[in-house]
Amino acid sequence: MARDIAAFKSLFSRGQFDYGTVLPAVRDDDITAAIAEANAVFNPDLYPSVEAGDLPFLYLTAHFLACDIDAADTGGQTRLIQNSRSADGLSESVEIPEELKSGEMSFYGTTAYGRKWWILSKPYADGAVFAVEGATQP
């Protein structure tokens, strides 16, 4: 898998994004900008190989693209996970996953793609912890 426009469109080919050349469709320039944003924050050293990082990279790209689309659609307001809704009084409650609620990771909790990137990257970011039997010497 590659990290280019063709790979992005191939992965997200089930209607997640409406591709085209006229706004509001997602243009190749929009994908290129999202790839550049993902490159700015993506750490390839987290992954055991380039191939292992390809899928998380494309989800991170989708996260940035979705952020741009949401910003255009909502005038800059973020969209979060809806956990309740009302009808007549027009009430809505939203939340983000616990581990993405604060700190530098909170930005990625604002889109489904950012959350998916985090799930794909978390095993590499956490690392492995092992207990080894032993003792100290005086």
pLDDT in tens, 64-111: 999 888 877 776 555 555 556 666 777 666 665 566 667 777 777 777
The domain segmentation of the chain, as residue ranges, is 5-77+110-126
Q: Residue 56, preceding bond cis, omega within 30 degrees?
A: no
Provide the β-strand partners of residue 26.
19
Can you tell me the distance from the alpha carbon of 91 to that of 81, in angstroms, rounded to the nearest whole number?
14
pLDDT for 85: 63
Cα dist from 73 to 52, 67, 69, 78, 128, whole Å: 33, 10, 6, 10, 41
What's the helix, strand, coil split of the chain in %, to 5? 55, 10, 40
Assign 8 a pLDDT band (cuts: 50, 70, 90). very high
Q: Look up the pTM and report it.
A: 0.65
